[in-house]
Structure 1
Amino acid sequence: MTLFSYFDDIDELEGFFALPQGEGPHPCVLIAHNWAGQSEADNGVARKLAAMGYAGFAIDVYGKGTRGDPMADNGHLMGPWMADRAGLQRRLLAAVDAAVANPAIDSNRIAIIGYCFGGLCALDVARSGDARIKGAVSFHGVYAPTGLPTQPITAKVLVLHGWDDPMTPPDATVALGHELNAAGADWQIHAYGHTMHAFTAPQAANPAGGIQYSADADRRSWQALTNFLAETL
């Protein structure tokens, strides 16, 4: 379990690798962070995945040393990437390149998951059409289309969504289903009733703002991920 530097052109990025016990190469799951940037919470997910037999790679979108405040507005960090989806896609695929180049990783068994902004990142990797990615999972993610030329989606896609999430209202979820269908994806959407944004984050406690932890949705979504990874990798 270690910090790991990799590069997008000249920009240095710092992620975190957690490898399972035993001989590799191992299937790998990339973890894309929320709008606050790569954090110990993402590292904890990587460790949890390693205990399940997957290499967990908590990736970095913002760059080494660039991190936000989990309790504050991080739009100044996320906003430029939302405005440059081609650049975001290149940065995400740089993380895929780093995983593939690691001899401990089975390059034929790679998936990506993500939370909030990271959910959008996972979807954007699937939208890229990169055949190296076998599965993409969004936890309470943002769905905004990329505006880039449409590619066939070869990765299986799982979307784990709070029905009462104001950042991705029901109409946006239905639109995403139509988008995934049109791209030929093998997709699933699990919508949790009476569930808001950030339902996997125990510190989320702002129901007036549509942000609230849900122990039930957290547990159910992790089980859905567990089943998905077993099928996909």
Structure 2
Amino acid sequence: MTSKLVSLAAGIALSLSAGSVYAELQTETVDYTVNGETFTGYMAWNDSDQGKRPGVLVVHEWWGHNEFARDQAEKLAAAGYTAFALDMYGEGKVTDHPKEAQAFMKEATGDPDVLQARFAAAMEQLRGHSTVDDDLIAAQGYCFGGAVVLNMARLGMDLDGVVSYHGSLGSPITPEPGDITARIQVYTGGADQMVPADQVGSFVTSMQQAEADFSVTSFPGVLHSFMNPGADAIAEEHDMPVGYDKDAAERSWEGTMRFYQEIFTR
């Protein structure tokens, strides 16, 4: 009887512990408007952390604001940040088909001012959250989102840092010395057909000419979308040159966490 009671008590304690840990992660769906159009983002934070902390914007792949983007926000919350997975497309535009994704991306990037306005509106949502120190803001993006955060840095937006994962590195924006105030990290695949070596080289040259504080990490043999565990299924279904790489994904995340510790330490 005693052993049974001990086992029961231990089981209850474990359940309570697991429940309390789960309760620490808070999430909220946030609707906001930009130029009369509705957008839906996803805020994540840990309510066991005391006081204000840095905020990180998460910009989705070209598929739209999907589960992967929200998962990244939750990972950031677990690491001690408040994260906002924003929506660059609006009206619930999300897909798993490349043709639709390309159309969504083309519409969003057609007017650079519109793109910047959508990003800025999401940044204000993050800055206004009760847990966020609005002087400490970074942004990270994947694929399409990686290109977005790099362009926001090129435009001189008030960001402490940006991180691009397998994002396009080309841009019509040519920053001058002093334009870029954010520190930049880029993670790219050495076998990424969508971000070839000449594009990486041009990016390095442009950043050097702009006198930006940046770094580029290239993983040999790694394909596009290496951060997304669902990339292999996408490759098989749509015959796309993409693929998840566990090692590259983990090393990129670890590097990002070190990067944030550096830029947010004042």
TM-score, normalization by structure 2: 0.82
1:65 Cα deviation after fit:
1.8
Q: Displacement, 1:83?
A: 2.7
Superposed displacement of residue 182, structure 1: 2.0
Q: CA RMSD in A?
A: 1.7
Give a deviation string over 1:32-60, Cα, whole Å, max 9, x none. Answer: 00111101111111111111100011000
Alpha-carbon shift at residue 148 of structure 1 (Å) = 6.8
8 Å CA contact 1:86–1:148 kept in 2: the answer is no
1:95 corresponds to which of 122, 128, 150:
122
Are residues 1:114 and 2:141 paired?
yes
- Give the TM-score, by structure 1 length: 0.93
Letter in 1 for 2:251: R
Tell me the distance in 1 between the aligned counterparts of 2:161 and 2:121. 17
Q: Deviations over 1:64-88 (max 9, x none)?
A: 322222x443111001223322321
**Correspondence 1:213 to 2:244:** yes
Q: Structure 1 stretch 71-80 or stretch 49-58: which is displaced more?
A: 71-80
Structure 2: 5+ residue stretches without partners: 1-26
- Which residue is 2:55 aligned to? 28
In the TM superposition, residue 20 of structure 1 has moved relative to its aligned partner by 1.9
Partner of 2:253: 222
Aligned to 1:105: 132
Q: Which structure 1 segments of 5+ residues have no match?
A: none
Deviates more, 1:207-216 or 1:157-166: 207-216
Shift, 1:149, TM fit: 6.8
Secondary structure, aligned partner of 2:113: helix
Cα distance in 2 for residues equivalent to 1:76 and 1:169: 22
- 2:224 aligns with 197
Percent identity (aligned)? 32
Instruction: Specify the alignment match of 1:155 in structure 2.
Output: 182
Per-residue deviation, 1:156: 0.3
Bigger relative contact order, structure 1 or 2, given CA contacts below 8 A and separation 6+?
A: 1
Q: Which residue of 1 aligns with 2:30?
A: 4
AA partner of residue 60 (structure 2): H
1:21-170 equivalent positions in 2, closer than 5 A: 21=47, 22-69=49-96, 71-73=97-99, 74-131=101-158, 133-147=159-173, 152-170=179-197
Separation in 2 of the partners of 1:34 and 1:172? 19
Q: Is the 8 A contact 1:154 1:184 kept in 2?
A: no
What code does the residue aligned with 1:142 have?
Answer: S
SS of residue matched to 2:195: coil
Pairing partner for 1:15 from 38, 41, 47? 41
Tell me the distance in 2 between the aligned counterparts of 1:9 and 1:64.
Answer: 13
In 1, Cα distance between the equivalents of 2:165 and 2:141?
Answer: 6
Q: 2:142 touches 2:165 (CA, 8 Å); kept in 1? A: yes
Cα distance change of structure 1 residues 99 and 195 upon mapping to structure 2, 3 Å threshold: same
Q: Which amino acid aligns with 2:252?
A: S
Aligned mates of 2:94, 2:138 — CA distance in 1: 24
Shift of 1:134: 0.2
Q: Is the 8 A contact 1:20 1:50 kept in 2?
A: yes
The question of whether the paired residues in 2 share the 8 Å contact of 1:123 and 1:136 is answered with: yes
1:224 alignment partner AA: G
* Bigger Rg over Cα: 2
Q: What is the CA distance between 1:95 and its match in structure 2?
A: 1.2
